[in-house]
Amino acid sequence: MPFPAGDTLLILPELFLTAAASFVLLWATFVSRPRERGLAFFSIGALAATGLLLFVSARMAGTLPRSAFGGMFAMDRFGLYFKGILLLVGIVTILFSLRFISVSPYPGGEYYGLILFSTVGMLFMASGTHLASIVVALELMALSQYVLAGYFKRETKSLEASAKYFVLGAFSSGVLIYGISLVYGAAGTLSLAGIATAFTTAKPPAFLVIGIIFVGCGMFFKIASAPFHVWAPDVYEGAPTPISAFFAVGPKLAAYAIFARIFFVGFGPRAGDWSAIIAASAALTMVVGNVGALMQTNVKRLLGYSSIGHAGYALLGLLAYGDASGIGLWSILVYLLAYAFMNLGAFGLVILLESKGYAGESVDDFNGLAAKNPWLAAAMLVFLLSLAGIPPTAGFVGKYFLFSAAMKAGWFWLSLLAVLMSAVSLFYYFRIARAMYLVEGEGTLHWREEPAVSAAIALCAAGTLAMGILPGPFVQFARTCLLPFGP
Amino acid sequence: MTAPFFFWFFAAIVVFGAVGVVAMRQPVHSALFLLLSFFGVAALFITLNAEFLAAVQVLVYAGGIMVLFLFTIMLVNIRRTAGQPYVHRQAGAALLVAFFLLAVVGGTIVASSRTSGLADAPADPAKLSTTTISRMMTETVDGKTVKTPVTEQVAGNSQAVAWGLYRDYLLPFEVASVFLLVAMIGAVVLGKRTMEHVD
Amino acid sequence: MIGVTHYVALSFLLFAIGVTGVLIRRNLLTVLMSIELILNAANLNLIAFSRQLGDLNGQLFAVFVITLAAGEAAIGLAIIISMYRLKGSVNLDDASELKG
């Protein structure tokens, strides 16, 4: 036996979810259209059970971190933190999709199956400690998502989103893999720990820097940061809206997990080579995202640009690599949790409005929402305040720690730019708030019409407020989930 | 490392094929040039002691991916795309910028690879075709079953790759199988003419 | 003498040609083929380094890269076929419903 049997225990959650996803696909062939809700509830149950298994296998694994499969996979609190959020994102996405899929002419079985498979890929990404396992998991996630983006394949927009996402995604994977090939040449190994050792002991050749830049470009694409962001607004606008919500949060979180792991653990000793590049991209991303959002009238596009801006803020945490307290990393962890809650929530409102016909995409569709349904308007207001970074919401907490991490690392101009861009973001978030509260609209909207979506929105709003009002426990928890790295 | 003639010959084929892919107007011509390039790369793999990968390159790329491309080209009627411009309008400017960037990056890579000391180190291809395995040997001694661990050398590049894939790379190997399953489902979902249930 | 540098240079040339193809071509099929060239360039690099280092990991990673290329090609071609059915064109910039 090359690996101890206990290694299988560590990937039990992933194994279970893979089996569940395959089961959904098989079951789907026997299920008639009106009964497809069963598939959705089964998928939600599977995701929740995976979360439980995560807990069980972490308990049974004993002392963390534990490495398995010859250094391919690590079970550590950093990975578990991401996995927990990713499973939650999966559940919320399916809640958003329930009615959306049942009123569409497209079948639900493959849809839910692909969401589960994509989540499997993301879970493996969060735990990958070897470039081979990371790349394969990344591709598993990405491939499922190319298909999901084009799932409404007789709608030109959806298919175009898929084509754009695919071409740019495959291209960026190519660049990433080419970069990895150069890193392999310089380090002589593909395991992150091995790469770190190789770079601390010997002076690597100059082509390593180019390899790191190429790997960075691949990462920038996956998190949609400038100059590789152009796909994001198009894909978010074109894809089915629950899938846009999924794209805006799930893959970004998973990509941040591998970004942090590759750059902190693997390329950590060469931080001098990459911090300037990340700083440049962060600055550009914040400006492009926030200024781009100013001109949007389509809410999905607006949220697309705003999520680009948010990717830029989170990059600030990576710059605080050298800080011994690990603030760079845990500020990203806190921020990403906040980001998941507030962004999913905002997309949820779009889905809720959209289900009244294909209308919820324009800012005007929010007109008079406060009069129609004060609860939904209040929830949207919470998400908007949080996205803009105003206390007492999760977004403020996240941004506060990120910006102070950048300050501590000595990037004053960048922190200043981030604050400035947050101020700019107020303008476009306020446009939606103004439409809800100050403009009169027509029709009525009751939350009971969409119980699943409303429940998911309530969950996100509760999370956003809880993190904003009582940030202590969240921050404390994130601080225990750091990676084993050091300058 | 390699006989210079083989390297230059196959390198020329690879580059000729690659340029053809990008420069040809008709996709079917591009595909044939791509095939040429794939074969050149496979030949270079043999010069680099990667016999197994050379075979996989021919089987998967030339045999599998290429057929997929040709089928698709057959299905989408290419005549309709003829006559239109086949490159972007700003292609000239893009080419210039790309050329400049690539010259700088490529120069750095090549120069540093030359001076890195990596090139001076003696290559040890023998390691690529042997692998050490340890297994339990079961014997029957005096009617009892005795298990003893043994370590042995296995020769051959394919054997070495196989042990690597199924032992050291077991986890990515299994994830790759899920990946291929998703590729299959995805291709069916997107490519099938109608996906609605008839009920 | 032919050394690893020759292979790295060739691989970079292949990469550059692939990138150029992705940037300048309009036809999705040709763009997909250019992406295959990029992946081939990475494999050439991996295997050349693998031989130079006397380390099998490069070859093993290359096996996975070939797998990924196959999966991507399958999905890419499926997208191209659906797009052709819907719009009668496989050009990327005819995909214009989304304002870029």
Can you name the residues that pair with A75 across neighbouring β-strands? Answer: A66
Q: What is the mean pLDDT of residues B18-43?
A: 92
pLDDT at res. A18:
96
Q: Please enumerate in sequence order all residues whose Cβ is within 8 A of that of A450, keeping only pairs 6 or more positions apart, or say none.
A: A99, A352, A355
Contact A298, A332 (CB under 8 A): no
Q: How many Å apart are CA C49 and CA B109, to the nearest integer? A: 13
Residues of A in contact with B109 (CB under 8 A): 182, 207, 210
**3-class state of residue C90 by DSSP:** coil
pLDDT of C100 over the 50 cut:
no
Q: What is the mean pLDDT of residues B115-126?
A: 65
Sign of CA dihedral A377, A382, A386, A388: positive
Q: How many Å apart are CA A418 and CA A312, to the nearest integer? A: 9
Residue B183: closest CA among chain C residues belongs to which residue? C71
- Cβ contact B76–C3 (<8 Å): no
Identify the CA nearest to A169 among candidates A152, A206, A144: A144
Chain center to CA of A363: 24
The CA distance from C2 to the nearest CA of chain A, in Å, is 17
Contact A311, A351 (CB under 8 A): no
Residue A43: both structure tokens together: 């998928």
- The pLDDT tens digits for A314-333 are 999 888 887 777 888 899 99
To the question of domain C4-89 being in CATH 3.30.70.2860, the answer is no
pLDDT tier for residue A206 given thresholds of 50, 70 and 90: confident
**3-class state of residue A225 by DSSP:** coil
Sign of CA dihedral A109, A114, A119, A124: positive
Q: In B59-188, at which residue ranges do the beta strands (DSSP E only) sit? A: 130-141, 144-155
Q: Measure CA of the first residue to CA of the last residue in chain B; give whole Å.
A: 66
Residues of A in contact with B115 (CB under 8 A): 205
Which residue in the block uniquely carries the two structure tokens 């009615």?
Answer: A99
Lowest mean pLDDT among A363-377, A409-423, C59-73: A363-377
Question: Is the minimum CB–CB distance between A232 and chain B shorter than 8 Å?
Answer: no
- The pLDDT tens digits for A39-95 are 999 999 999 999 999 999 888 887 778 888 888 998 888 999 999 999 999 999 999
Neighbouring chains to C with at least 3 Cβ pairs closer than 8 Å: A, B
Respond yes or no on whether ipTM tops 0.85: yes
Give the global pTM: 0.93
Lowest mean pLDDT among A264-278, A304-318, B100-114: B100-114
- Cβ contact A143–B186 (<8 Å): yes
Which residue in the block uniquely carries the two structure tokens 């599998």?
Answer: B64
- The pLDDT tens digits for C48-80 are 999 888 888 999 999 999 999 999 999 999 999
Identify the CA nearest to A59 among candidates A20, A112, A13: A13
pLDDT at res. C96:
61
Q: How many Å apart are CA B180 and CA A302, to the nearest integer? A: 35
- The pLDDT tens digits for A118-172 are 999 999 999 999 999 999 999 999 999 999 999 988 888 888 899 999 999 999 9
Contact C7, B4 (CB under 8 A): no
- Give the number of C-alpha atoms closer than 13 A to the C-alpha of residue A130, restricted to the C-beta side: 26
pLDDT at res. B199:
39
pLDDT at res. C95:
54
pLDDT of A300 over the 70 cut:
yes
Q: How many Å apart are CA B115 and CA B102, to the nearest integer? A: 20
Pairing of strands A73-75, B130-141: unpaired
Question: Where do runs of H (alpha helix) occur along A439-450?
Answer: none
